[in-house]
Structure 1
């Protein structure tokens, strides 16, 4: 039996499933979406639901036990079902828990499913009559940002503005990130927006924050679901599963005082969490950012993708504009970032996003990504961030023939 860090067992991704994301109000209800993603993941792994020992269901906007409602449509075997909510990092948190269950021997086969039935428009609180978990974030943001905009836009736009002021980053740099996302999404049938946009078209779009952000630089709310089945090597052997993807390392981080103490919007939106999670993953796996050829990272805004390049170690601090200008974030460059088109093109159904990233990278490492395929791929990195906060970074490795 192979053991990874801290004596834990290796964990394989046996099956993944996903449905195309849709605009709010267009697709099926959350339970139907989630059940279909689960069925696809089971079929992809050649497994029946009764082989699953534990299940973790991630969603943000829903009542208690939505996970049971969603999973029961795929099977009812009496197994533990855990409902997970960690804001935008919910899907990867469900995966973190499923992997942990298998790695520690608590389960041989675990399911992670993420889903979201979003409302149109800006994200808002569902419980305005009680203490807001973002009160400290809002206070820190208010001390730096004096514009009347939805909070997520103020957070990430403010971080982008800080980067512009500190390092000379320009609005065109963010437009290049968005244009790149559209080129990648054109080859992804799961992406909601597949029309290619040029940098100039991104810049000519309506301004959400003059000089800081145009509309295409912000991801839209969408509805959708994705799922993954993770198993031990022993389970895979017993059941004849030819799993070609291993979770080589994974880390979850939350905020430290630096999030609020630095009076820095880049810290406030999670760059410190990202950096610590990435460093932990690199150390555990014995690889570095120079070994990564593909990454799905949390591009809720083009600004956060650019900031994340630096936090993940893809380029030096302040070097993101050069990284982009050199084409190192796309095909033919060093690291193909968001080959799926990312959140900017797929949209962002909060609970599903992290598992949609897992879906993409699993297919990339299997060599089954079609026209999106990244060549010579051995390691792929996933970065999923939720303010409030949580960050999950996962390193996948191709194994077998």
Structure 2
């Protein structure tokens, strides 16, 4: 008979600026893990932890982070895992833990992660002296280290491996699909993230608790520059934070036997993990996520719920486009009164790289324990709208269990991949998405378009324009329009001239 997985312990902590001797990520994580085990209650539960899984740490390197964490806590797990650097990993951990616990393969699982990027940056400025262990390269990254950044050579040559560039490209495709003009859409982005800022302002763990208005978020200015339009700084994940979070899962049977108070129990009711087509230049559209759409339906079906029955959401918010894509997959709009974030989101609560969603899961658990809300959906994203893991949490276990096989759905998503993009293009190009990058002083520096050629293949091209003309393009919708593209051997890039 399958076992019933349940979350019994959680912890979050924020190491705010101003400490003379800030803790390194490992010590932050160990504190969070100890607190999560203590939150579960019985000390003997720690003796049953047979899996220790750690989110990838960008701000500092450890040879064996899960092994070191286990040693610090006195744990002797039979299975450890160090995740790839990807925002979906914490929710993927929960889904994998649920499957292992349900099958009887694991008795208790500790999942944890931490970043201390703020302290590292302060040390570069000479503001603090770090009394930390020497950096080491990780020995093993679970699942194998990715051979690339999630972008192909053409995308890399056009700097689309930089997240703000890629997500801004998605944003312009979303804007065109919604039929909004530039000013109207910019205002909508401000209204969307105003909701996130309001939540962060009330969260004592949030890195930035200032409450921003929609205009303060949407309008570029000296303290809110637009490095890559249409995004301002306040629309982007705040990665320079010091944070840690941990989650402990076991089975309902073990929780009862160990004497864990049932008021602590929160069930993963449903979950799913799927990937979109890896390279953006081979995706049919820029403004959707087939993987996320399927994850939503699979997790809801497993939980026995509909979207209308979900009381609150925590949607991954590295940039507005990811939130909007998730809202589209869920059928939500800005008028929906339900929360879209529990923490305040990555721009305001903080974006501790690959571990943000561990905070979202911990916060969801904490709020469900109070009964308000009684269920939550957490959507986690990694890469460039690439890897999706989704979970539904509540006070009741999944009526369906955790043995579903989604491989056929995954294959169907990947089968829609377009041919490889054209590296040296010529002819007419219809624009699918575009961005304008600015200097620190706000002067237009470079424009980029992704578009479809007459044979249906995709390509990337640089806008053939100087700063003055690029400045005009900042106020003109290029998406949906067409122009001439040609390959420039001197720059090694395709050049695009729009039809004005």
Q: Which runs of 5+ in 1 are unaligned?
A: 2-7, 316-322, 369-374
Q: Give runs of aligned pairs for residues 100-249 of structure 1, distance below 5 A.
A: 100-118=99-117, 132-136=148-152, 139=154, 151-169=162-180, 170-205=185-220, 206-209=224-227, 212-221=230-239, 222-241=241-260, 242=262, 243-249=264-270
How far is the alpha carbon of 1:345 from its aligned partner? 1.2
- Relative to 1, partners in 2 of residues 1:284 and 1:21: Cα closer, same or farther, differing over 3 Å? farther
Contact 1:60-1:85 within 8 A present in 2 as well: no
Contact 1:95-1:355 within 8 A present in 2 as well: no
- Relative to 1, partners in 2 of residues 1:385 and 1:357: Cα closer, same or farther, differing over 3 Å? same
**Stretches of 4+ aligned residues off by more than 6 angstroms:** 23-26
Q: Tell me which of the two structures has the higher relative contact order, counting C-alpha pairs closer than 8 angstroms and 6 or more residues apart.
A: 1
- Relative to 1, partners in 2 of residues 1:98 and 1:120: Cα closer, same or farther, differing over 3 Å? farther
Choose from 33, 39, 45 the match for 2:40.
Answer: 45
Contact 2:277-2:283 within 8 A present in 1 as well: no
**Partner of 2:439 in structure 1?**
none
Look up the SS of the partner of 2:172 in the other structure: helix
User: Residues 114-149 of structure 1: CA distance to partner in whole angstroms, max 9, x if unpaired?
Assistant: 22343659xxxx99xx9533232x63587xxx7x78
- Relative to 1, partners in 2 of residues 1:19 and 1:200: Cα closer, same or farther, differing over 3 Å? same
1:87 pairs with 2:102: no
**Partner of 1:32 in structure 2?**
27
User: Residues 11-63 of structure 1: CA distance to partner in whole angstroms, max 9, x if unpaired?
Assistant: 11101011115579984101101101101101111133223122111114234
CA distance in 1 between partners of 2:75 and 2:256 (Å): 25
CA distance in 1 between partners of 2:10 and 2:286 (Å): 35
CA distance in 1 between partners of 2:56 and 2:366 (Å): 23
**Partner of 1:261 in structure 2?**
282
CA distance in 2 between partners of 1:190 and 1:292 (Å): 25
How far is the alpha carbon of 1:9 from its aligned partner? 3.0
TM-score (norm 1): 0.81
User: Residues 281-316 of structure 1: CA distance to partner in whole angstroms, max 9, x if unpaired?
Assistant: 1122221111111111100112321221112x133x
**Partner of 2:313 in structure 1?**
295
- Relative to 1, partners in 2 of residues 1:250 and 1:167: Cα closer, same or farther, differing over 3 Å? same
User: Residues 323-370 of structure 1: CA distance to partner in whole angstroms, max 9, x if unpaired?
Assistant: 21x2x1xxxx1x2110211112121112321211111100111118xx
**Partner of 1:362 in structure 2?**
365
Answer 1 or 2: which has greater helix percent. Answer: 1
Of the structure 1 ranges 19-28 and 168-177, higher mean CA displacement relative to structure 2 is found in: 19-28
**Partner of 1:340 in structure 2?**
343
Look up the SS of the partner of 1:345 in the other structure: coil
CA distance in 1 between partners of 2:167 and 2:278 (Å): 19
CA distance in 2 between partners of 1:245 and 1:66 (Å): 27
CA distance in 1 between partners of 2:37 and 2:79 (Å): 18
Look up the SS of the partner of 2:342 in the other structure: coil
How far is the alpha carbon of 1:189 from its aligned partner? 0.8
How far is the alpha carbon of 1:78 from its aligned partner? 4.9
Contact 1:290-1:314 within 8 A present in 2 as well: no
Contact 1:157-1:303 within 8 A present in 2 as well: yes
TM-score (norm 2): 0.66
CA distance in 2 between partners of 1:87 and 1:155 (Å): 15
Q: Which runs of 5+ in 2 are unaligned?
A: 123-136, 139-145, 398-500
Larger-gyration structure (1/2): 2
Look up the SS of the partner of 2:105 in the other structure: coil
